[in-house]
Amino acid sequence: AQTVTQSQPEMSVQEAETVTLSCTYDTSENNYYLFWYKQPPSRQMILVIRQEAYKQQNATENRFSVNFQKAAKSFSLKISDSQLGDTAMYFCAFMKRNTGTASKLTFGTGTRLQVTL
Amino acid sequence: SQTIHQWPATLVQPVGSPLSLECTVEGTSNPNLYWYRQAAGRGLQLLFYSVGIGQISSEVPQNLSASRPQDRQFILSSKKLLLSDSGFYLCAWSRGYTYNEQFFGPGTRLTVL
């Protein structure tokens, strides 16, 4: 079974600054995906960024980037130039790579990020 | 484009009453469907998933059940609600390919009193 750990229940960052959210995971799988989801106050789950474990290059989506350390089983999210709209709960999630059947997401407990003026 | 709907958005039910939450997906066929529960201050826990009509897999023992009567319809039910069933319920769908990114619905907030 997989586990995902987010050790920072809450974080705060000033607008325009950079913040890094931590995530570690435990698995015996070699082929998998990792995700960061954002859940704003509306509670809609929004995919922020994904990383395929077989890719060494860290994923980047505009102001969002990850630091994927496969050997250390670490997957942190960096948000650059933080904006007020980034205020949300952020969840790290793990998905085992499959061959066409349903895949299951295993979530961490989340980090609540507050962006302040 | 694909969209996913959930209703109701909010529900307050007494203990012991039945439950029916509905999820429908538009714009795709034969999706994989999922039900998650998010308890207050916690992450999402997968409850059920389905790869086809009438095919339901349960992840955790509980007071709830799921059904998939149509290709793009997924229903979460209970015969008698417990206080511990309170939470935020999210439905999600994914394509049946190797890479199964999941897309989430807007959720239903259930309060059991």
Domain B3-98: which CATH class?
Answer: mainly beta
pLDDT band at A61 (very low <50, low <70, confident <90, very high): very high
Q: Tens digit of pLDDT for each residue in B23-43?
A: 999 999 889 999 999 987 778
CA atoms within 13 A on the CB side of B4: 24
CA atoms within 13 A on the CB side of B104: 23
Residue B99 in this model has a pLDDT that exceeds 70: no
Closest CA to A34 of A43, A17, A21: A21
Instruction: Determine the residue among B104, B108, B110 to mutate to test chain A binding: the one whose Cβ has the most chain A Cβ atoms within 10 Å.
Output: B104
Domain A3-116: which CATH class?
Answer: mainly beta
Q: Nearest residue of A to residue B44 by CA position?
A: A107
Give the residue carrying structure tokens 């039945």: B18
Taking all residues of chain A, what is their mean pLDDT, rounded to a whole number?
93
Closest CA to A103 of A56, A23, A35, A7: A35
Residue among A99, A105, A110 whose CB faces B102 most closely: A105
Q: How large is the average pLDDT for residues A61-79?
A: 97
Report domain extents, chain A. 3-116
The three-class DSSP label of residue B101 is coil
Contacts of A91 in chain B (CB under 8 A): 43-44
Residue B66 has phi, psi (to 5 degrees) of -135, 155
* pLDDT at residue A100 in the model: 59
For residues B6 and A42, what is the distance between their CA atoms, to the nearest angstrom? 14
pLDDT band at A6 (very low <50, low <70, confident <90, very high): very high
pLDDT band at B98 (very low <50, low <70, confident <90, very high): low
Q: Tens digit of pLDDT for each residue in B46-90?
A: 999 998 999 999 888 778 999 999 999 999 999 999 999 999 999
Q: Tens digit of pLDDT for each residue in A47-56?
A: 999 999 999 8
Residue among A4, A43, A104 whose CB faces B49 most closely: A104
